[in-house]
Structures are given as structure tokens and as C-alpha cells.
Amino acid sequence: METLARKVICALDTSDLDEAQKIVQKLSNKIGAFKIGHSLTLSHGLDVIQKLQDKGASRIFLDLKFHDIPNTVALAVAEAAKRDVWMLTLHIAGGPAMMTAAAEEASAAGPEKAPLLMGVSVLTSLDEHMLREFLGVNRTLEEHMVSLSKTAIDFGLDGVISSPHEVKPIRSAIGHRGVIVTPGIRLPSGDQHDQKRVASATEALNNGADYLVIGRALIDSPDPDAVLEQLGLLTPA
């Protein structure tokens, strides 16, 4: 029976490849995907993707947040596609030409190989004060995220990253045209760490999220099933 736990993407926030492989072996039959970022790729190169796939990570979410000129980002997407990456991130602020180039490169890989392109608008470590005072954005955080998310879908991206607090208005704005991945999921008693905008798994899914990124709560627990149960994710999907 497929459960809501398959909507979970485990964040492998470690530079230790052995540890990452053990986590994959421990969780691959419980959750849907694994997210890797700079800590693993800078330490071990992109070959780390294959090594994790060999341990059971059938879906790899490459979270490197590409943000560069169109040709450079297109080349990065091509490399990700060669390695059967399921999903990757890029900054929407890179602009329409960059997003279009990325989408065209993903499409060229073919339907079986094309990674899902996920747009990042505002990092979950930022709040509205930071957005206005330090980045000079003269609209609310929600307005900014909704606007950028609509732009991302219009220019060929497959979906967007959204904190739990903005999922509902973004889903309303983009309808069913795009996938929404939501970090910032915490246990009721969990620490927020360095993220400002967090919420429960149930709230995020009810508001329109398709996938949930969960890291420390799963990785640090000796009983991941108990964590998934506490999050309300062991019920049928």
C-alpha cells in the first residue's frame, strides 16, 4: 500500500558519503526520494549520484540552485540529465532566458531522462524584513513568491519550491500546472534550525504541496517509522 511517506524527500545534509549511503539503505523503502546539495557534490563530485542510486536511491533531487547565464545553466541541466537526476533546482531570478534554456535542455534529454526543473524564489531562511531591507523588494514576501512562481511556470519550469506558509496562494496562482516541493517541515516539538517559515507535514499537503523535504528529523532518529507516524505520513496516499 502506497502511503503519504512516499511524498517525502529526505535531505542528505552531510558531506560523509558512507553516512549518506547508510541513510539511503535505511530509508529507500519508506520514502520517495533523496536530496543532495553542495556538501556531498563538492566533496565527492557528481559521481556521488550513481553511488547513491546503487544503494537504492531511485530518485535523486539535485539541489544546487543553478543561477548563471543561460548557456551555463543549460550545460548544467544536460549534465544532470546524463546522470538520471529526477529533480533539480534553479533560481527564478536568473530570468526568462535562463529558464527557457534550462527547459529546452531538459526537453532535449527526452521524456524518460528529463529532470524536473524546480524554481527557487525566496529561500526559507529569509523573512519579509530581510526581503525588504536587504534585498530591496517592494512587495510582500507572499506577493513576491507568487509572482515569481507564476513566471517560472510560464517560462517552462516544472514546478517551484515553496515554504509551507506560501503553498496555498502559490497553488491557487499556478493551479495544477506545476509541482510544489516544500521544505521547512518540522515535528510538532522540532527545532526550526536556520529556517524562518516552517509548518507541519499535514498542513503543507492540505495546502497543495506535492512533496515534502525532511532532513534532520528523519536522519537523526533511530526510529524513522515513528517519525513518519508522528508527521501523519503513514496513512494511505
Q: How far is CA 17 from the centre of its chain?
A: 20
State the CB neighbour count (10 A cutoff) for residue 167.
24
Catalytic annotation, pick one of 65, 82, 113, 168: 65
Rounded Cα distance, 152 and 170, in Å = 11
Which residue pairs from 102-109 have beta carbons closer than 8 angstroms and sit at least 24 positions apart in sequence? 102/66, 102/70, 102/73, 102/74, 102/77, 102/156, 102/157, 103/155, 103/156, 103/157, 104/74, 104/156, 105/74, 105/75, 105/77, 105/78, 105/81, 106/77, 106/81, 108/78, 109/78, 109/81
For residue 55, count CB atoms less than 10 angstroms from its CB and return exposed for 0-12, middle for 13-18, buried for 19 or more. middle
Annotated active-site residue 55? The verdict is no
Helix (H) or strand (E) holding 131: helix 128-133
Cβ within 8 Å of residue 41, ≥6 positions away:
48, 62, 64
CA distances from 100 to 114, 147, 209 (A): 14, 17, 24
Which sequence positions are flagged as catalytic? 65
